[in-house]
Structure 1
Amino acid sequence: MTAFFQSLGLPYEWAWTVATVVAIVVVSLLVMFSVAMVIYVDRKVLGAIMLRRGPNVVGPFGLLQSFADGLKVFLQETIIPTAANKGIFLLAPIITFTVALAAWAVIPFWDGGVIADINVGLLYILAISSMGVYGVVMSGWASNSKYPFFSAMRASAQMISYEVSIGFVLVCVVLFAGTFNLGGIVRAQQSFGLGVINAYAVHPLLFPMWVVFFISALAETARAPFDLTEAESELVAGYQTEYSSMSFALFWLGEYANILLMCSLNTLLFWGGWLPPLDIPVLYMVPGIVWFLVKTFLFFFMFSWIWATVPRYRYDQLMRLGWKVFLPMSLLFVAVTSGYLMATGHFDKVGIAEVPATATEIVQTNPAQPTAVRGQS
């Protein structure tokens, strides 16, 4: 896209800036449109499993129901409780929505189809996703109501607990791929399983880690059976209880954008991303973005399926699963995985063992430094 704007006569700096802004706008609009569609899918799946119709009136097959709901909340009045801290109360949904969109900057939809193809994309995702809890905590505290406050305390403990397990799971993936770049992780999965399957999840050491990651993603996004932050039978609506109009809608947009993000990470880290399921030439005729979207929405269907069928955990069960099961299990697999890769010489193949060992060697071999600098010790 930068080359296109350069062809229109713009200098490189302006062409890159305009191309980046256009990419951000396009991805943001696509994510928000996808959120509207997956809310519709969520309700249709729940309706089918519970023997109900789901949305079927507004638009053909009810496809416009999510947009009608969005128009409804847009036209409603924003009510701020008298005793609430107004500044933080209004800032909380904005943070939740903004952080949820910012994480998509490093998600590759196809090979090269990413806004920011940075080498530490996975670390960026961890940093951004960990900030999502701030919106929930701020809303719970600023509402000056006991139910949102209980929800905020639950959310902070729940998200922190399961982020620890997710971090160790990602260490196992990085050890296999040899990179934090999400595109590099996807490319490393090509022909990984039996020389024909494009997925890390088929490996005996990584399949259990995918299961841990999938369940932890449910807890991280507060989806059932881990939706204790907004448990209707206990907390009315949790941290969203005092919110209305567009501030409530921003929470919903941010929540579903995070759910889609976790579904896409399941696809990218364990199931081949934009690659077809099998390394067969005829399957590559299908565009990579199609494979990426199909896999992502398949995982979203699994999220909805679990919501409709699995009862909610008690809070002590939630904490026990995170700290007494997933944390020891993920730590054990980090040790076993690194030992296995060392024993099989995997690090020599991916080039990790060839990294310069001293600061002097790094300076002398860094092509980004001028020759005069590289020659100095």
Structure 2
Amino acid sequence: MTAYFSTLLGPEGGWFVATLIAILLIAFPVMLAVAIVIYFDRKIWAAMALRRGPNVVGPFGILQSFADGIKVFLQETIIPSSANKGLFLLAPIITFTVALIAWAVIPFGPEMVLADINVGLLYILAASSLGVYGVIIAGWSSNSKYPFYSALRAAAQMVSYEVSIGFVLISVVLWAGSFHLGTIIDAQKGLYGFLNGFGFNPLLFPMWVVFLISAMAETARAPFDLTEAESELVAGYQTEYSSMAFALFWLGEYANVLLMCALNAVLFWGGWLPPVDWAPLYAVPGLVWLILKILVFFFIFSWVKATVPRYRYDQLMRLGWKIFLPLSLLWVFLVSGFLMLTRYGVQA
């Protein structure tokens, strides 16, 4: 595509137009997917509570998310008189933008990636950690007690679980020998001769469990949604927001949830590879396998939210600092020691 536009617009213009089209080809489907998975999320909760869920707007209620979007778009944007107007409006933009930029390095298939960089995993870790700034700015700029309290909770929660996620990723990097996401996926091929995925590895499976739970805490999903504990905080850091500013927070949250589902698939379950290393399964496009895995993990996220009661805040912190952090750190030593003995041998 870059070569085609370069013949029309020159090297720099061709690169710019081709890159812009590639960005839109990722951003628009992600935003559309967010609207769709919100519908599925509500349907899953309803089914588990023996309710109907959305069933009025459109066939089977499938247009409910778009109706909600139109509703918030047409609402009046209210800014509290004592709020810092500039930062108040900037916070949801930061949250939504940061949720999208991490998708730039997610490989949807062999050579199907916007930015194929060697340190893609580090890029995702850095980009996802920026999301806390939108939450903190929203809480502080609202100049309201409960949103500010929620923002402090969010900062402590996200920092706590990013530490354990970092050590989990070190175990994956050690085994794959690279920060490149495509190389990590290739390293998962042919485990035991017929399986694809680090999740089938007994030494890395516990780290997947830690990563899955930490991802729920990182995205503030139930049972870790202490930043939006309505019984304690009214509604959390977005209490003072309305209209599209309010909607951007929710869109950013679901984009982050989908990102964590994609990372679960890419880092532990083979990404675009089929679950079994069997030639006929490779006839299915890699993008289809990746989307199916993302949907499976999204179902798990919804399942947990519908069935597990909310943690207390001290339980949340204890799980992150006293259980996951020591466990993931220990696993780094176990994985590195195992690899030294089996892959590299004992050096004299």
Map 1:1-377 to 2 at 5 A: 1-6=1-6, 8-191=7-190, 193-346=191-344
Letter paired with 2:254: Y
- Matched AA of 2:331: F
Per-residue CA distance 1:221-253 (angstroms, 9 max, x = gap): 000000000011111110010000000011011
Partners in 2 of 1:310 and 1:343 — Cα distance? 41
Deviations 1:238-277 (A, max 9, x none): 0010000000011011110000000000000000000001
TM-score, with normalisation over the residues of structure 2? 0.98
Secondary structure of residue in 2 paired with 1:109: coil
One-letter amino acid of the counterpart of residue 179, structure 1 = S
Q: Deviations over 1:330-360 (max 9, x none)?
A: 0000001001001112599xxxx9xxxxxxx
Distance in structure 1 (CA, Å) of the matches to 2:19 and 2:105: 12
Task: Tell me the equivalent position of 1:364.
Answer: none
Partners in 2 of 1:347 and 1:166 — Cα distance? 28
**Deviation at 1:59?**
1.0
Shift of the 233–178 alpha-carbon distance from structure 1 to 2, 3 Å rule, reads: same
The separation in 2 between residues aligned to 1:346 and 1:181, in whole angstroms, is 21
Paired letter, 2:38 = I
Deviations 1:133-185 (A, max 9, x none): 00001101111111101100100000000000000000000001111011111
Work out the CA distance in 2 between the residues paired with 1:303 and 1:102. Answer: 22
CA–CA distance in structure 2, aligned partners of residues 115 and 318 of structure 1:
36
> In the aligned structure 2, how far is the partner of 1:80 from the partner of 1:12?
45
Q: Distance in 1 between matches of 2:121 and 2:161?
A: 16
The alpha carbon displacement at 1:9 in A equals: 3.5
Distance 1:171 1:53, change over 3 A: same
Whichever residue aligns with residue 318 of structure 1, its letter is L
* d(CA) in 2 for partners of 1:205, 1:12: 48
Indicate the percent of aligned positions where both proteins have the same amino acid: 71
Counterpart Cα distance in 1 of 2:131 and 2:163: 15
Q: Distance in 2 between matches of 1:276 and 1:10?
A: 40
Alignment length (residue pairs):
347
Instruction: Give the number of the structure whose alpha-carbon radius of gyration is greater.
Output: 1
Q: Distance in 2 between matches of 1:253 and 1:112?
A: 28
SS in 2 for 1:248: helix
SS of match in other structure, 1:302:
helix
SS at match of 1:239: coil
1:221–1:347: structure 2 CA closer, same or farther, 3 Å change rule?
A: farther
Residue 99 to residue 341, structure 1, CA distance change in 2 (3 Å):
same
CA RMSD, 1 decimal = 1.3
Q: Give the distance between the partners of 1:36 and 1:326, measured in 2 at CA.
A: 32
| Equivalent residue letter for 2:55 | N
Counterpart of 2:189, as a letter, is Q
**Which amino acid in 1 is paired with 2:3?**
A
For structure 2, list consecutive stretches of 5 or more residues without a partner in the other structure.
Answer: none
Counterpart CA distance in 1 for 2:243 and 2:293 is: 33
